Amino acid sequence: MLISRFLDPKNNYAFLKIFGTEKNKDILIHFLNDILGYTGKEVITEVTFLKTIQDHDIAAYRQSIVDVLCRDKYGTQFIVEMQVSKHPGFEKRAQLYAAKAYSKQIIKEDEDHKKKWQYMQNFEE
């Protein structure tokens, strides 16, 4: 593939350009459908990019920044995170990202959260 000669998707800048922009939204949609094995009715046809900086309600806590956070037309959230080097705290950090995104959804959508799913896809080298 010609693009791989110039862009390495493991590079954070390239990863965000490929998967995290409106211009390349179709690449993200295809990627999510492929990696999750979606077919038929469950196929993702549209996503809305959400704010990737997850602020705390308490100012003293640290904010979290994910690579890609989006929602499909059914309200299902997807977090896509690239981690190139082995980092001992990555698994716990990934769990924190997912928990924050899910809890924000509960606060904003009240009782509708029972209908919403969330997927987090992590890539480690």
- Yes or no: say if 28 and 19 are a contact pair by the CB < 8 Å rule: yes
Domain boundaries, the chain: 8-124
Closest CA to 19 of 62, 52, 60: 52
Amino acid (1-letter code) at residue 109: E
User: pLDDT tens across 70-85, in order?
Assistant: 889 888 888 888 877 7
User: pLDDT tens across 5-63, in order?
Assistant: 677 888 888 888 999 999 999 999 999 999 989 999 889 999 999 888 876 665 556 67
Residue 109 has pLDDT above 60, yes or no: no
- Yes or no: say if 44 and 33 are a contact pair by the CB < 8 Å rule: yes
SS3 of 79, please? strand
Residue 3 has pLDDT above 60, yes or no: no
What is the C-alpha separation between 53 and 110, in angstroms, rounded? 21
